[in-house]
Amino acid sequence: MNENFGEPTDSEVDELYARLDREAKQGGYFLNREAEFVKGLVRGLLINERRYGYRACPCRLAADDKQQDLDIICPCYYRDADLSEFGACYCALYVSAAVLKGEKELSCIPERRPPFESRAAKPGSSGASLDAVPAKLSVPVWRCLVCGYLCGREGPPEVCPICKAGRERFERFI
Amino acid sequence: MNFEHVAGEEKGKITLYALSTCIWCKRTRELLMALGVSFDYIYVDLLKGEDRSKAIEQVKHYNPSTSFPTLVIGDKSIVGFREKEIREALG
């Protein structure tokens, strides 16, 4: 854990906030409308980036091991399911259109991430089976574990074009 | 393990396990302060080594998913910023 870092400055917070907002909109997602609330979370993301080297979820305890924490790098693997079920991600950084428009109220979201013991066995991948594929594919299909984006190519892209997740957060789907 | 103590009205043993970066933990701590009760809190993400493992074990005892905030009031625990439940438990 790197402890020799300064507090994120207001301009760093504003810069990342603007970037996340832009990327969210491009991908069809929405950030929470409460700017001060979001800035608090963005500050937490910047602190975690300095501490651990990656933007671990500010509302979860990071292990200081990127491999173990791949699922909770923001946006996390659980965001889409929580958006569908509760109208917000675990932190409420991302919200659904209904929550954004005030048609649905936010409630406390239970932790969807499996406990450590059951997590260790399967590092994020669902282990797709090749048996169900009817024809031989010319290239494998890769799936973004954050947003579900699929692409057929030799290897996963450097960065997901939809949600900006890094290539290490893709699984071979078919 | 060094808990921070916040002085206030005695309502039994109240312990808040929190993360320093978590907004909901912050809201929970602020609610407890607004309610004016005496409580102890600790930022588990800032702990190291044995203290950290010990704190995680304690949280797990009350809340198997080891999520934050975990608020322990006597032998009862409230997971997450559940304002209504917290107010009721301390009312």
Contact A48 B80 (CB under 8 A): no
Dihedrals phi, psi of B78, to nearest 5 degrees = -125, 120
Question: How many folded domains does chain B comprise?
Answer: 1
Q: Go through chain A and tell me how many residues it has.
A: 174
Please tell me if residue A44 touches chain B, with a CB cutoff of 8 Å: yes
Contact B80 A110 (CB under 8 A): yes
What is the CATH number for B42?
3.40.30.10
- A149 Cβ neighbours under 8 A, 6+ residues apart: A143, A160, A161, A162, A163
Per-residue pLDDT tens, chain A, 174 aa: give them: 666 678 999 999 999 999 999 999 999 999 999 999 999 999 999 999 999 999 999 999 999 999 999 999 999 999 999 999 999 999 999 999 999 999 988 888 999 999 888 876 554 455 555 566 667 889 999 999 999 999 999 999 999 999 999 999 999 999
Interface contacts (A, B; CB < 8 Å): 53
Angstroms from B8 CA to nearest CA on chain A: 27
Per-residue pLDDT tens, chain B, 91 aa: give them: 899 999 999 999 999 999 999 999 999 999 999 999 999 999 999 999 999 999 999 999 999 999 999 999 999 999 999 999 999 999 8
Nearest chain B alpha carbon to A40: B23
Contact B24 A44 (CB under 8 A): no
Instruction: Give this complex's ipTM.
Output: 0.93
Q: Please report, for residues A111, A130, A132, A141, A174, the alpha-carbon distance to residue A135 in angstroms, rounded to integers and kept in the order given.
A: 39, 10, 9, 13, 11
Please tell me if residue A36 touches chain B, with a CB cutoff of 8 Å: no
**Structural domain containing residue B57:** 4-90
The pTM of the full predicted model, rounded to 2 decimals, is: 0.89
- β-strands B4-6, A141-144: how paired? unpaired
Q: Which residues of B sit within 8 Å Cβ distance of A? A: 19-26, 44-45, 48, 56, 64-68, 79-82
B chain contacts of residue A47, beta-carbon cutoff 8 Å: 20-21
pLDDT tens-digit map of B23-49: 999 999 999 999 999 999 999 999 999
Nearest chain A alpha carbon to B44: A61
Whether A42 contacts B2, CB under 8 Å: no
* Nearest residue to A161 (alpha-carbon basis) of A8, A26, A7: A26
Best residue in B23, B71, B79, B86 to probe A by mutation, most A CBs within 10 Å? B23
Q: Please report, for residues A19, A23, A84, B13, the alpha-carbon distance to residue A169 in angstroms, rounded to integers and kept in the order given.
A: 20, 17, 21, 43
Q: Domains in chain A, ordered, with CATH?
A: 10-119 (3.90.460.10), 125-174 (2.20.28.10)
